Chain A
């Protein structure tokens, strides 16, 4: 870190500073407004259709599924908080065998689209399935298990990233004062993880509200079912319920901000983190990891392989979807990489000003923008996609040309998944010691250099973790890809969906396997390797 190098920059005059603040305020406001597109669309359409708003909202068919949505989302969030945090601590800070490989592998269930994961687990467990000794995942408990297994990485990844930048000095001091490893982990390390855990848990909560694939296959009736089943022939109800979900998300996000205190957490880079011996807990810890990976990753993969083998044995390759070998997957793989990497980078870049303003300036405007960004994640992808279509179609001439272009598709992803990047970025910025910035300022280092040479390197692990989450979510994203992509632009997720829609399970198996493998490769190359090699 070259903090004290010569920096002959002009000291900021008062006028310059206020001009910069005004610009930054305008930027933050503009970003917040863009993230209000889906809400604006829902409001506009609801009013235009003239639905009996209160009648619909207060009816039994809205309230019962809504209560169920809240129940499944909160319980899944709690389960993921516990599981994701435990797994991250185990692979980052203990002598668990195989932890280097496990760090990558444990992130992968996030890459499995929920409808594919749920279908595979239904085919795996229960009477008449592959493993008959276990009960069939179904109803509330089935939905809870499936959603937890597929979405704990929302907590796991930010916590893992945070664990690599906590201050080892605190732990060393504790150890020298005679604290046991377990006590040190609980009393010294855990408190430093608080904002990362809160960030991930909120994401799971919002995701739980938005999910349709897993809950519908588990036959658990939530608000998203009501939104989907009425989307064509009772649009007023569908949109009103969408609006209800959007408002609920705003309330949840705002409430979380009010409840969870934003304490500053100290962060360092380039230090080796202490590793603790598990002792007698080594066995149970290994069992936990094996069970989670067995259910969340190995089982779906095994089901995919069974589908491929069964399909290619009975129908041959001809009508199983692979007429010309695996060549049909080349362009979806390329498209998936382009879209997911662009969305990850785009999301990190677009939400960064909001995250900076929120942590550093703590203005009401920054808070409001952050709430807007975060809340969109609770909406079903279809609603976000239709909102983008709604605004893009009405846009004035030069912008209208963007309709069904690659940049607009990326904007759709960024709108939907920006929350994932924002929370990680906030945590990363909050973790930068204020003194460093103050010291640099005293030495006359200008704002741009402070950002590029101080803040960005310190924030990098958090930014990369957030972009990684967006990347994984984009890899499996469906509704926006189907509706917004340039025509003919197919991804592994749309291929998987197309095959599943009409019962081509051998092809589902093949595309889903490639999707998981690609996710593993990208997660390792772009997210974990840069971080581990730091």
Chain B
């Protein structure tokens, strides 16, 4: 008992220090490795204390929604447009200041100014170079339902970025064609995995020859182990298969200091922060005028359209329905 009381007292003491100076609270769907150094830099250069809660974007979005008017969060950083779109749809986000929004081209931000893209990950095929000849890779993602890909393609239908891709596909090809493609994947014995990382590893081991993922994961795998035999393949000619998935920032509507929140978002879009995202985390910086990472195809060759998920009819709810209807998830 006494031990528990001591533990509680100690923890309270630990958590209550640092009050008094200006503080900003971030809920971050980006993990510490991918954003921590930037938060430190913001804190060092402004003298503002940064408090951060890490978690999966979807879980943090649920948390903010559940917290409602009592949310301590000032800013939400999301790994996918879906999670910020969910909050925008539930009126949990405040418009970001014009001056900050303008740092990013219009196609990379929400039309109501509720969220702004920071960096981008691109949908690719990751393939095992021992099992797949690059020449057999398709020009379009729509070809993956063809017989020659039977049983050879891995997908992660429960994953946010796959769902974001399906939403984009619905907008370009319509719901019927999208459902047909999803059902085609099921009929073609597509292999389902739980997330991007597990697909990249399975492809690296040769469990499955190729899979649909974000480009980041294989670059990370190569950084940890140069011996991996998995490679990224970008779909050519602006095919929707290589959609850009924006990571995004939004200001929580209940923030008590919108100016400070805007200032933080502005910092994330500054050249220094954007270069970190490009150089250290292999992502496409989205603020105007910042170079793409070395060794990656330029943004101009990629289908860069982003989608206002909050404006789509039915949005991600409808996407989820289609995925359920196709039976892809439970195959």
Q: Which A residues fall within an 8 A CB radius of B?
A: 61, 64-65, 119, 122-123, 126-129, 136, 216-217, 219, 221, 225-226, 228-234, 307, 310-311, 314-315, 319-321, 338, 341-342, 345-346, 349, 382, 386, 389-390, 393, 400, 403-407, 410, 479, 482-483, 485-490, 494-495, 498-507
Contact = CB atoms under 8 A, between A and B. Distances in A.
Interface in B285-314: none
B177 interface: no
A389 B66 contact: yes
A489 B15 contact: yes
A215 to B, nearest CB: 9
B276 to A, nearest CB: 11
B62 A386 contact: yes
B202 to A, nearest CB: 8
4 nearest A-B residue pairs (beta carbon) = A128-B205, A229-B158, A406-B11, A503-B220
A122 B201 contact: yes
A16 B70 CA distance: 45
B32 A307 contact: no
A188 B299 CA distance: 74
Contacts of A314: 223-226
Nearest to B193: A219
Contacts of A405: 12, 15
Interface string B63-87: 1001110101000000000110010
A69 to B, nearest CB: 12
Interface of B: 1, 3-4, 7-8, 10-12, 14-15, 25, 31-34, 51-56, 58-59, 61-63, 66-68, 70, 72, 82-83, 86, 157-158, 163, 191-194, 197-198, 200-202, 204-207, 216-217, 220-221, 223-226, 280, 315-317, 319-321, 324, 329-330
Contact of B56 (A489, A490, A501): A501
Contact of B221 (A64, A65, A503): A503
11 contacts: A122-B198, A136-B207, A226-B330, A229-B157, A311-B224, A338-B10, A393-B68, A488-B52, A499-B31, A502-B197, A505-B224
Contacts of A226: 329-330
B282 to A, nearest CB: 11
Nearest to A504: B33
Given A487-B53, A488-B52, A234 B158 contact: no
A228 B158 contact: yes
A103 B85 CA distance: 51
Contacts of A495: 32
A487 B330 contact: no
Given A483-B55, A487-B25, A498-B32, A315 B223 contact: yes
B204 A128 contact: yes
Contacts of A393: 66-68, 70
Contacts of B62: 231-232, 386
Contacts of A349: 1, 4
B224 A310 contact: yes
Contacts of A230: 320
Contacts of B63: 386, 389, 483
Given A389-B66, A479-B59, A127 B158 contact: no
